[in-house]
Structure 1
Amino acid sequence: MFDFFGVLIPFLMIHIICDFYLQPNQWVEAKKKYTYRSTELYFHSLLHGIALLVPAIALGIDWRSTACLVAIIAISHFIIDLWKVRARNGDKFSYFIIDQTLHISVLAVIAFHMADGVTIDTVLQHEKFSDGVMVVFAYLLILKPTSILIGSVLRKYPISGEDTDNSGLIAGGELIGYLERVLILTFTLVGSYAAVGFVLAAKSIFRFGELNKSDDRSMTEYVLIGSLVSVVITTLVGTLISLGLDVKIK
């Protein structure tokens, strides 16, 4: 019948277009204000369903399946968006991630159902499945667990003095660390070690001005320890995973 990614990718394109390009800010504000009484919420949900007629026709999906597809997407989108706009902290980034994950999951399940010869067993037995699990494990490992480990290390080297200026974004340092480790791990896995050096050089340039103005040597050492521990852990994880993938390929 259909290829999984051949179905999923067009569906995702329609989702991105409808959710981010064809949804005015007025609709977003109206949904937050009036929730289920907002006509914009109904229009937006219907738009997602009706827009899928384009890939459905292009792929040659029969009219019964197309009708079911439109109904499922419109209804599921309405329910998910209604939950998000009614949530107390619906504007938080975590809610945005959950919202998009739910939408994409619905599309993935539909594509999985329509795909020819794709079952849970074939996915689990695929030669690349274990490789994917290893890569996902690596990314999970270098985020929260690594942050906790770095925090434990830095607690042994506290910044001296009580007048240290800690101004800046709340949790900004943690977010910077996440992004840095994701980039380093990605470049390590693809073997682009020059790009890893670029990331480190870029961070050093931005940090140089801040640390150069600081008269507190302990602050400089604190930042350097945290950065180096982050880089060492991520590089080791990336190297080990890369070696594991190479061994399996051979």
Structure 2
Amino acid sequence: MPDFLAALIPFFIIHIICDFYLQPKRWVEAKQLHKYRAPELYYHSALHGIALIIPALALDLDWRSTLCLIGIVAVSHFVIDLWKVTTRNGETFSYFVIDQALHLSVLTAIVFHMSDGVTIDALLTHEKFSEGLMVVFAYLVILKPTSVLISRILSKHPISGSEDSNNPNITGLVAGGELIGYLERVLILTFTLVGCYAAVGFVLAAKSIFRFGELNKSNDRSMTEYVLIGSLVSVVITTLVGTLVSLGLDVKIK
């Protein structure tokens, strides 16, 4: 029986190639327009199943297992894609993430079933399991909970004139600041966990450069202070979380 990661990675590679490189834009548009009547939906689903013959041969699966693999992946991909194209606002980012998570979950479940020695008990008792939970917890903390905390802090320091919706000085993407904060904190936490602290400084310097022109042109001092408070709170929380998790990981390793 194949090793779990040795089988999972080729399966994921095939999925990425078929879903993003071998799917023409006209196929996507046809699925959105014609739903289950689009032949492209069937072509695309069949492609995902048939392409898995390559890793199946490499892993030396018998023909029965290979046929089951092709059938399960093709059918599941058809159902998930059909659900996405028939769902209202199915082309939004959140549905894209759900769609990909479902496809990858199916592949993971198949490989989990195929692999030898991989059980739920073995996973839960693995020496790296608790470390993985700590890292996942850290990323969860620095995303939505940290955004809520920062918004609560900044609500006590509103921008002067921000209540005026017609204020021409207030510009930018809707929720753009929140997205920038997410990306900034993910980068800082990642660099902190791997011990690349110089890269953290690079992230802060890059953000400061991009923000400098905007703040330099602003005559509103409260805007500058607002941005600085949000940025510093974001950095402090993420750095503390990253440092604490890193210390916890070091203690477990020792």
Q: TM-score, normalised by structure 1?
A: 0.99
Work out whether 1:169 is the aligned partner of 2:177: no
Alpha-carbon distance in 1 for matches of 2:56, 2:186: 36
Counterpart for residue 88 of structure 1: 88
Q: What's the counterpart of residue 37 of structure 1? A: 37
Q: Please state if 1:211 is matched with 2:215.
A: yes
Deviation per CA, 1:155-193: give whole Å up to 9, x if none: 111111243622111111000000000000000000000
Once residues 107 and 165 of structure 1 are traced to their aligned partners in structure 2, the CA distance between those partners, rounded to angstroms, is: 49
Aligned pair count reads 250
Q: Distance in 1 between matches of 2:50 and 2:168?
A: 57
Q: Counterpart in 2 of 1:60?
A: 60
Return the alpha-carbon distance in structure 2 between the equivalents of residues 122 and 230 of structure 1: 37
Unaligned runs of 5+ residues in structure 1 are: none
Q: Which whole-Å deviations, capped at 9, do the CAs of 1:72-119 have from their partners, x for residues lacking one?
A: 000000000000000110110000000000000000000101111000
Q: TM-score, with normalisation over the residues of structure 2?
A: 0.97
Percent identity reads 76
What value does the CA root-mean-square deviation take over the aligned residues? 0.7
CA offsets per residue over residues 205-238 of structure 1, 9 Å max, x none? 0000000000000000000000000000000000
Question: 2:149 is matched with which residue?
Answer: 149
> Deviation at 1:139?
0.1
Query: Where does residue 197 of structure 2 map in the other structure?
Result: 193
Equivalents in 2 of 1:207, 1:155: separation in Å?
21
More deviation in 160-169 or 93-102? 160-169
The aligned amino acid for 1:186 is: T
1:20-53 CA-partner distances (Å, limit 9, x unpaired): 0000000000000110000000000000000000
Where do 1:90-109 residues align within 5 Å? Answer: 90-109=90-109
Letter in structure 2 aligned against 1:111: V
1:238 aligns with 2:242: yes
Matches of 2:168 and 2:36, distance apart in 1:
49
Q: Any runs of at least 4 consecutive aligned residues in structure 1 with deviations exceeding 4 A, and if so which?
A: none
